[in-house]
């Protein structure tokens, strides 16, 4: 049997390296989304970045590979690493979403998220009512119950609310809706955290209950209508909390 005494050291080093290149990707990704490096601009040379960030070339290259995979940058011979236009970015990627949230003003971010939800969520609800499997209905009912059980615990409420809406997208049984549900599970946390501060929770429970029942009972038109009602009031709730604090 071979000597395994050094495996632990190797694994720790690999873990530290992984965390380092992820941190480097965070720094560069945030800088790109913040506009420090606009589309068409070239990132500083490798040696300069390594020196500025106090990292190895290995960690930097791993970070750059990750950003390339997300569509943010591309390497060109004799031109260096260039930032790509936003149309090429993977905006559904969890890291890109997180960087977007952290670098965009709240009002603009919320406006875009509500536009996406209005475009997708009512139809997702209708499809869920039509296609949900028994286990989907069970999970949705459990998510709704968790919202009720959360009471005035904002963190528990937000977690249950996120799970509820993610389950709706999964229950469409349409794999093209699933990535949207996964993306919203990341991007809606800020929106739901704002909404959780309001005094409208009893009404929100009733509206989520109507939506839950319509999906479980297999009524697409009612599910679509319930989703539209919920979204319409959610826009007003979030705006009121942001401007008035309740």
Q: What CA–CA distance (Å, rounded) separates 142 from 192?
A: 19
* 47-86 residue pLDDT tens: 999 999 999 999 999 999 999 999 999 998 888 999 999 9
Number of domains the chain contains: 2
Structure-block tokens of residue 195: 């909404």
Q: What CA–CA distance (Å, rounded) separates 28 from 50?
A: 12
Residue 101: per-residue pLDDT: 84
* Of the candidates 199, 212, 84, the residue with the CA atom closest to the CA atom of residue 147: 212
In a domain, 119, yes or no: yes
Q: What CA–CA distance (Å, rounded) separates 81 from 59?
A: 16
| Sites in the chain below the pLDDT cut of 70 | 1-18, 190-199, 237-238, 240-246
Helix segments in the chain, DSSP class H: 7-34, 46-53, 57-69, 94-103, 106-131, 134-149, 154-170, 178-195, 201-216, 220-244
The parent domain of residue 231 ranges over 106-244
Residue 15: per-residue pLDDT: 41
In the DSSP assignment, the letter for residue 88 is: G
Say if CB 157 and CB 196 are below 8 A apart: yes
- CATH number of the domain to which 151 belongs: 1.20.120.530
Give the pTM: 0.75
- CATH number of the domain to which 13 belongs: 1.10.10.10
Q: Are residues 81 and 113 in the same domain?
A: no
Residue with tokens 């919920």: 230
Q: Are residues 124 and 195 in the same domain?
A: yes
Give the side-chain half-sphere CA count within 13 A for 235.
13
Residue 14: per-residue pLDDT: 43
Structure-block tokens of residue 107: 């009002």
């Amino acid at each position: 049997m071979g000597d395994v005494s050094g495996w632990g050291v190797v694994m720790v080093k690999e873990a530290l390296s992984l965390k380092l290149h992820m941190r480097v990707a965070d720094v560069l990704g945030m800088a790109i989304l913040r506009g420090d490096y606009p589309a068409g601009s070239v990132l500083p040379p490798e040696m300069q970045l390594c020196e500025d960030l106090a990292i190895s070339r290995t960690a930097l290259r791993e970070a750059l590979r990750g950003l390339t995979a997300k569509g943010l940058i591309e390497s060109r011979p004799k031109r260096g690493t260039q930032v790509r236009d936003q149309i090429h970015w993977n905006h559904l990627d969890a890291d890109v979403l997180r960087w977007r949230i952290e670098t965009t003003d709240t009002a603009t971010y919320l406006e875009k998220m509500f536009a996406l939800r209005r475009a997708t969520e009512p139809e997702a609800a209708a499809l869920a009512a039509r296609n949900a499997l028994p286990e989907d209905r069970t999970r949705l009912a459990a998510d709704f119950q968790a919202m009720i059980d959360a009471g005035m615990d904002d963190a528990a409420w937000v977690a249950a609310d996120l799970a509820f809406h993610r389950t709706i997208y999964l229950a469409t049984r349409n794999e093209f809706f699933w990535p949207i549900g996964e993306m919203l599970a990341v991007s809606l946390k800020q929106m739901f955290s704002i909404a959780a501060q309001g005094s409208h929770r009893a009404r929100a429970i009733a509206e989520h209950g109507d939506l839950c029942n319509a999906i479980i009972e297999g009524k697409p038109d009612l599910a679509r209508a319930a989703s539209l009602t919920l979204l319409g009031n959610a826009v007003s709730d979030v705006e009121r909390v942001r401007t008035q604090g309740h």
